[in-house]
Amino acid sequence: MDTRTAAAIKRCIEEHSTFLITSHINPDGDAISSALILLHLLLHLGKSCRVVIDDLIPKKFDYLDGVEEIKAFESLREDEDFDCVISVDASSPDRLGRVRSCLQGERAVINIDHHASNSLYGGCNYIDAGASSTAELAYAVLSLWPVPVTPEIATIVYSGVICDTGRFLFPNTTAEALDLCSRMVEKGAAPSEIAGYLYHRNSRNTIHALAAALSTLEFFFDGSVACIHLHNMMDDDIDTEGFVDHLLSIEGTEVQIFMIERDANEYRISMRSKSNIDVNEVARHFGGGGHMRAAGCVVKGSRDTIKERLLQVLGEQICTV
């Protein structure tokens, strides 16, 4: 973090006393970890602090210390007030769902993120697109004060990094990320225990759903695009995050797509890229976003029409690369 940003964040946190921490809808491990790192910092500093995310928190994150403090949007009272809102891992206010409305008025806004597309909506912006994760940046913020790093905090930081680097497999697996995780292990984070919580307790229904999704596998553009889809199963114990990553293992594929029905005629699309094809550009075309190699969007329409439009946009990308 450059010294100006460090000074600005430090001042902003010290000058305010009541905080709201928030992150994006459809929260992932990085969003949740980043919010919790800041919660631990603010509580250590004796600040009053609430965490609100406008979505459900997946059950697999239940081992993170403080996760029960993350409340739904409905828990916010009309008259509740905050001096300062800290938004983490959200590239634009739209990503915050209904919490977006809390950014209005006189409140100070601190925006901490690693998406290159961040719209710099904070009064104080700490954006580093070269960082593995927002958790890495949130930890840098925490380190501006002499906060003791407990095994609980180390576990949160490690979890944020491992989730956003796809278990240290994605290109954002930097030397800094590995170094940070090594230090977190020294402070008490237990890698195999964390992997057990995050990756080794899928429900049976999740694996049945994965089998159903994989059975729809199709290829396009000479095998360079792989696509799977799933009907809305309306089942709480099905976690489809990570389904798309299974397609990364196929030799010769460049882009991987997972389409899941959310509502009648509405699909959530998750995309991955193993090459220079920028799936963030494709997602942005449909009003979504993310990173160059991992992005998503929600699109209305029938599955066939959506797929056709998606492949058309992807085709243009493939031709220009």
Token pair 């029905």 is at which residue?
A: 261
Among residues 164 and 278, whose Cβ is nearest to Mn ion? 164
User: Which is nearer to Mn ion, 23 or 253 (by Cβ)?
Assistant: 23
Beta-strand relationship, 289-290 and 266-273: unpaired
- C-beta closer to Mn ion: residue 97 or 230: 97
Q: In what order do the strands lie in the sheet with 294-300?
A: 218-220, 225-230, 255-263, 266-273, 294-300, 289-290
Give the end-to-end CA distance of the chain in Å, rounded to a whole number.
Answer: 33
278 Cβ partners below 8 Å, 6+ apart?
292, 317
Tokens 């899941």 belong to which residue? 260
Q: Smallest distance from the beta carbon of 146 to Mn ion, in angstroms? A: 26
DSSP 186-229: HTT--HHHHHHHHHS---HHHHHHHHHHHTT-EEETTTTEEEEE
Q: Judged by CB, which is closer to Mn ion: 31, or 255?
A: 31
Residue placing its CB nearer to Mn ion in the complex, 27 or 50: 27
Residue 28 Cβ vs Mn ion, minimum distance, rounded to whole Å: 7
Angle, CA 167 vertex, CA 166 and CA 170 arms, to 5°: 45
Question: What residues contact 196, with CB distance under 8 A and at least 6 apart?
Answer: none
Shortest Å distance, C-beta 164 to Mn ion: 5
* Rounded-to-integer distance, Cα 115 and Cα 290, Å: 7
CB 147 within 8 A of CB 44: yes
The two structure tokens encoding residue 196: 């057990």
3-state secondary structure of 48: strand
Nearer to Mn ion, 180 or 225 (CB): 180
Please identify the residue of the shown chain whose CB is closest to the bound Mn ion. Answer: 30
Residue type, 55: D
Residues that bind Mn ion (CB under 5 A): 30, 89, 134, 164
Based on CB atoms, which residue is closest to Mn ion, 134 or 155? 134
Cβ-based nearer residue to Mn ion, 133 or 253: 133
- Provide the token pair at 292: 């160059």
